[in-house]
Structure formats: structure tokens, C-alpha cells
Structure 1
Amino acid sequence: MPIFIISYLVALLWFTSYAFAADKLPSWNDGPAKAAIVEFVKNVTGEGGPDYVPPPDRIAVFDNDGTLWSEQPMYVQLAFALDRVKALAPQHPEWKDKQPFKAVLENDPAGLAAAGERGLVELIMATHAGMSTEEFERIASDWVDKARHPRTGQPYTQMVFQPMLELLEYLRVNGFKTFIVSGGGTEFVRPWAQRVYGIPPEQIVGSTIKLKYEVTDGRPRLTRLPAINFIDDKAGKPVGIHYQIGRRPIAAFGNSDGDFEMLEWVTSGSGPRLGVLVHHDDAEREVAYDRKSHFGRLDRGLDEGPKRGWVIVSIQSHWKCVLRHACGLPVPSK
């Protein structure tokens, strides 16, 4: 190989490495939020330093809805459940006269809201159970690939937050293991989290429904039952983390009061800790919401987070671009 080509490649490698080192989070504006994250990572990875944390203990947990991807105008899994009601309606003629199914079929948001939490659970049970785990994985994966966000018309996998994708990768490069800890269903997130977030199925902690082991026509299978097994939200998040991960993380990222207990538990441990809340305050590039939102309500966290030393990330001030599709990046391949 000619010497000038070798020199060029060496220079290119140096420039690429320098650029990455100079701006580890390129979609983040310089400021206190970015500085706090970078300083934390620097401290816990600096061998010989007082805050050094060995790689096995470098665990970071992330909420999903509103933290890694958009949760407005409704949680994505709820949109999935509503579409499933419409798809299954021909098999259930009784639904046209029964709430909350009637409200879904008539596109009646007021009627759906009136059904409350009990009605939503009924929808989930009717649309997420009565099939094997493999069948549900296929249905959920196909829906995520084909469904479109009602406001932008983009695939839901393009409604992820580019700055958070960079943060996930930045942490992994520095020896962290990243987990999703979601109030949504574990088996709804697992089929696509690897290709979208780089997080494998075994690193998804979420809500679950009960399963039953059966042998049908000589073939073993796990059947999803119409009964809640575990709700991984609010005080359930630390419990879910303990059950599945078995170590207390050193960093936690959320966006709503549903994540409060997770951040509280993570940051109360000994040694260096990082708690981060994403504040949706950018009406122009995404949606502005916090204290009064039906989805992703952030009230207590805004009041108590700063007092607890948590980093409040302002989307408006701290992110150069927000949604993956608006940052000009392609849809992750299946």
C-alpha cells in the first residue's frame, strides 16, 4: 500500500477518534445537562479514581415511553391495543354494544376515557391474551413495522429520540449495560428493541401477563392468559429491577412521575449515582406537556428532582434535534 494512502488512513482514523472524543453526544447542546452526564461517566470509568465503578456494576436503566420514544398523543402500546380491537371485531359482534369496545369501534375518545383504568385493562386482556408467546411476538412486531404515528405519519420506530439513542451508545461504549424498565408490556417491547435501541430481549423489564405452559398436538408452548401478572410502574419499577436484574443500577433515566420511585431508589444507593428526567417543553419540535398531561405526567419530579440532585433535561434547550426522522436518519432495518 502506498505510503500516502497509509498516511491518509491514519489521519482519518485520528480525526474520527478526535471528533468522537470532542463531542460524545452530538445531538446534545453544550450545557449543564450534557456536562453532568459526561462528568458522571468520566468519573465512574476512571480506574484508580475515587468514584470508579467496575464494569459489572455499570448498569443504567431507561424508561421507554416518553424517555426513548414519543408517548403522545397516547402510549404506543395503547394504540396497538385499539388497532387490535378493530382487527378482532368481526370475531366479536358483541363488542359493538359493549364498552369500552364500543367506544373504540366508534372512535369515541370521551367514551374510552370514561371507561377508566378498568376499561383499559379489559382492552389489554382482550387483545393481548389467548395466544402463544410466539404468536404475540409476531403480531406486535408486524404492527410496529407497519403502524404510523397519527400526527407525523412516520413509523413509530422513527419517533425515537436521537439524543437518547446517542446516550445509550455512549454508555455502552463506556462499559455500561443498558436496560429498558417500562410500564409497558415486556413482550410488546422485546421484538423490536434490539434493532431500534440496541437492547436485547433479556434486558427488557416491563409489565407482564400470566402465562401457562401447555402441550398442544405434542408441541410445548407458553399461552398468554387474560390476567395481569406484574405492573412495572411507579413503585413496581424498583421491584421489577430487583427481580430481573439483581443489582441496583447506578444511573436511571425517565420522564414522568411514573419513574419517580425508580430514580429515587437508584440515586439513594451508595457511591456515584445519576438520575435524569427528560422534560417535554418543546411544542415546536415535539409536544410540550408536564403537570396536567394524561400521558407522561411530570409534576412531583419537576418539584423534587432538582432538590435530589437529578438532572432535568429540557428538550427545548438541551437537544439540537429531537426525533430520529427529523434528524434525517433512516428507519432501522428489521
Structure 2
Amino acid sequence: MFTIRHLIKSARDVIPVVIAALFLTASAYAQSDPLPSWNDTGPKQAIVSFVERVSKQGSTDFVLEPERIAVFDNDGTLWVEHPMYTQLAFALDRVKTLAPQHPEWKSVQPFKAVLDGDMKTLAASGEKGLLELIMVTHAGMTTEDFQKVVTDWLSTARDPRFKRPYTELVYQPMVELLSYLRANGFKTYIVSGGGVEFMRPWTEKVYGVPPEQVIGSSIKTEFKMQDDMPTLRRLPEVNFIDDKAGKPVGINQEIGRRPIAAFGNSDGDLEMLQWTTMAGAPARLGMLVHHTDAEREYAYDRKTDFGRLDKALDAAAITGWTVVDMKNDWKQIFKN
């Protein structure tokens, strides 16, 4: 006879199996989740839906792999840009390093402001002053020498707030997104206003994006034979500014295909998102990272000197671009 005792015994046998099954199911789900640092909110759902639609054979939105191009801004989209752009921090350190060779800088702006730690005067020098700093501190050497200077600086420099190397202050959710897209046949590019040769030495290691898939601003270079060796020497002249309207131009020149997905965080990315998304079929995705988390990172948008998000934020409401709220949409900011 099947008694209460049998029921109890059966329950004791079954419960561990059920618990184990639930645990395995949860574990499998966690392992299969391609974006574990994202909360299950609108932006994550928009990404997954878009990727599934364009990569699934038979879908009305299916896109062939060669046409699955995704472009990403760097500063403020993939890594921190406050309290200043990382490349600007690099340039300021270079001024201090080179100052003993240039005693005249003690009385010449914007170099005097840098040496005096006068950030207000430096900011007042505007784009012209900052460009002069970049030209002087980034030129006058071979491309190989510059790569070594960048690599050495990144190995020792620390962010003033987080006390960590800048290459550790990349956004874990975006690193996962890059990997997720590549796993689904996308080719990922960085399209940044930052210097292309400042980024290329480290983007492959940090983001998985090889140097040939990095587009950025550049200064002119010239070929020279130096000690019977062929070299490219960096000149203090602007070659190309890959920002704002320059981004679609750079994409066209370097990629030769219109992307179907674009990710940015500021008005400097407005034209890139317009170029990517306002082109009709196939399905397209535009996304803006909105810095809303003052506790874990920073909170800023319309009123900031670095990464201003104003016109692009307004455009998002009209175009239907997805806006990522850092505070609410990301479980974590940086890799632990």
C-alpha cells in the first residue's frame, strides 16, 4: 500500500533532484547570457532583438555577414572621459616630461598653464590651445617611438579618482557587447575623435579590436630614411579630425560600407549615428550611453566640457535611438 511514509520518502528523494535541476538551469542561463553585466531592461532587449533579427537566416531583416558593420566611439562610450579625455591627460604629462628641453614654456601659453597646474587658463585656451599641446607633444618622433611612449605611459599612469590604470577603466557592459556582436558575425570598428595612433597600441588587447579597425584623428607623417632604416616621422600638422561630421567621412574612407549599428555618447557622435541609422533598410541600431551614475562613475550630459550630450540626446527622442541609462541599465560599470 502506498502510505504517507512512502510519500515522505519520495519527496525526500525528489527534492534534491528538483533543486539540482533548478540550479543547473539557472547556471546554464547565466552562462548563455551574452550580456551578463546588463540589466534586463529596454536597451539590452533592443540589442538582443536587433542582433537576432539581422543574423538569423530566414528573418526579413537578415543581413549578410560582410554587411554587419558596427562602429563605436571610444571616449565616454568604451572607457572613461572624465575628468578629462585620457589622451589630454597623456598630453599634459608629456608637457611636463619635455619641459626641461623647453625653458620658454614657463612663459608661453598654453604650456605655462599646464606647468602651473592652471586648468582654468588651459580650458580658456580652447580648441586652439589644446590642439597646440597635441601637436607639440605627439610629433617630432617616429611612429614606433610614439607607440612606445604611449604604451609606457599607459603602464604607469593612474586615473586620479579610481587610482587604476586607464585601460582598466573600460566599461564591462560594452566589452561584452563588442564580443556579442563579433560572435554573431559583426565586424566591430572604433571611430573616435581621439588620436588613431594613441589608440592602436592597446585596443586589440583591451577591446578585441585590431589596429586596422581603429579610425581616429591623425597628424601628418612623412617617410624618411634614418640611419639607413625606413621610418615614418610624425609632423606637427593636422591630417584629419575624426569628430562630428568627420566621422561619417572617416567611416566611408576607411571601411567603405555604411554601418548598420552605431554606439556613441556625445554630440560628437551625432553625425555618425545619423549616417548609420537614417538610411532605410536593412534594420539599423543607434545607441547612446548616457552618464547618469555619479556614484559608480560620473553623471553629466548637457553641461560639460568633455562629452557633452545635448543635441544628440534631443535627436534620440525623434529618431528612436536607444539611450542607455548607466545607473539603471548596467549591473556594473568596470570589470572587478
TM-score (norm 2): 0.91
Residues 114/272 of structure 1: CA separation in 2 closer, same or farther (3 Å cut): same
Secondary structure at 1:305's aligned position in 2? Answer: helix
User: CA–CA distance in 2 between the matches of 1:13 and 1:191?
Assistant: 41
Correspondence list, 1:96-245, <5 A? 96-245=106-255
Give the length in aligned residue pairs: 313
- Residue of structure 1 equivalent to 2:290: 279
Q: Is the Cα contact below 8 Å between 2:30 and 2:36 reproduced in 1?
A: no
Correspondence list, 1:14-33, <5 A? 18-21=29-32, 23-33=33-43
User: CA–CA distance in 1 between the matches of 2:65 and 2:167?
Assistant: 30
Mapped pair 1:70 → 2:84: no
- C-alpha deviations, 1:163-208, integer Å up to 9, x for none? 0011011111111111000000000000000110010000000000
Residues 17/187 of structure 1: CA separation in 2 closer, same or farther (3 Å cut): farther
Residues 285/241 of structure 1: CA separation in 2 closer, same or farther (3 Å cut): same
- C-alpha deviations, 1:20-49, integer Å up to 9, x for none? 33x221000011110000000000011011
Name the stretch that deviates more: 12-21 or 153-162: 12-21
TM-fit CA distance, 1:18: 4.6
Secondary structure at 2:125's aligned position in 1? Answer: helix
- Residue of structure 1 equivalent to 2:271: 261
- Residue of structure 1 equivalent to 2:304: 293
Residues 118/49 of structure 1: CA separation in 2 closer, same or farther (3 Å cut): same
TM-fit CA distance, 1:16: 6.8
Correspondence list, 1:42-61, <5 A? 42-61=52-71
Give the unaligned 5+ runs of structure 1.
Answer: 1-11, 329-334
Name the stretch that deviates more: 108-117 or 31-40: 108-117
2:258 to 238, 248, 257: 248
TM-fit CA distance, 1:162: 0.6
TM-fit CA distance, 1:158: 1.1
Mapped pair 1:39 → 2:21: no
Mapped pair 1:314 → 2:325: yes
TM-score (norm 1): 0.91
- C-alpha deviations, 1:218-273, integer Å up to 9, x for none? 11100000000000000000000010011111000000000000000000123100
- Residue of structure 2 equivalent to 1:303: 314
User: CA–CA distance in 2 between the matches of 1:161 and 1:256?
Assistant: 16
- Residue of structure 1 equivalent to 2:98: 88
- The aligned amino acid for 1:189 is M
Secondary structure at 2:287's aligned position in 1? Answer: strand
Q: Which has the larger radius of gyration?
A: 2
TM-fit CA distance, 1:19: 3.3
User: CA–CA distance in 2 between the matches of 1:137 and 1:292?
Assistant: 34
User: CA–CA distance in 2 between the matches of 1:172 and 1:186?
Assistant: 22
User: CA–CA distance in 1 between the matches of 2:155 and 2:263?
Assistant: 26
2:89 to 68, 72, 79: 79
User: CA–CA distance in 2 between the matches of 1:312 and 1:84?
Assistant: 36
Q: Percent identity?
A: 63
User: CA–CA distance in 2 between the matches of 1:200 and 1:138?
Assistant: 17
User: CA–CA distance in 2 between the matches of 1:13 and 1:123?
Assistant: 56
